[in-house]
Amino acid sequence: MANEIKLAEAAREIARELGKLPAESPLPFGKGYVFKVDDRDKVSCCAIGHVINRAGLSVLVKGRSNGMSGMTYRSSDAAIKDVCGVGDLEKQVSEAIGDVVEANDYSSDPALVANRLYNLADCLEMSTVPTSAEA
């Protein structure tokens, strides 16, 4: 559960930074991959990759060989599962990840991406609260 909290804090930090950008600023994230391999180093690409990296958890993300002596890290959902050490994410967390990815890939509005990151942070934190059945 500690990793979910670290991710939530990182998502909020990045959202605050995005909130300071002018409305028409280009987003500081890439698209299509969570991480890329650059000179054998795992480099953050999309917003989710930046959140994971900011939380200091990128070493937990597993990649697949791309057949060219490199690794690919495609799925934001799978990357968060790796970091949180779970087989499945709660539905609200998975949907929030999808919302961040959609905003990252199809919007140029920093405020929209920031809003989606705040929502992701809230969902991650809520996923750590035990339900009445678990308590």
Q: For residue 19, is pLDDT > 60?
A: yes
Which range marks the domain in which residue 110 is found? 2-126
Q: What is the pLDDT of residue 28?
A: 83
Q: What percent of the chain has pLDDT over 90?
A: 50
Name which of 25-34, 71-80, 126-135 the model is least confident about: 126-135
Report the domain count for the chain: 1
* Residue 93 belongs to some domain of the structure: yes
Tell me the pLDDT of the chain averaged across its residues. 86
* Residue 17 belongs to some domain of the structure: yes
Average pLDDT of the residues in 38-58: 85
- Segment 76-134, tens digit of pLDDT: 999 999 999 888 999 999 999 999 999 998 888 899 999 999 999 999 999 987 755 55
* Residue 133 belongs to some domain of the structure: no
Q: For residue 72, is pLDDT > 80?
A: no
Strands (E), the chain: 35-38, 41-44, 64-65, 71-72
Q: How many CB atoms lie within 10 A of CB 94?
A: 16
* Residue 131 belongs to some domain of the structure: no
Q: What is the pLDDT of residue 108?
A: 83
Q: What is the pLDDT of residue 131?
A: 59
* Residue 132 belongs to some domain of the structure: no
Pairing of strands 35-38, 41-44: antiparallel
Q: For residue 68, is pLDDT > 80?
A: no
Cα–Cα nearest to 96, from 3, 4, 1, 2 = 4
* Residue 62 belongs to some domain of the structure: yes
pTM: 0.87
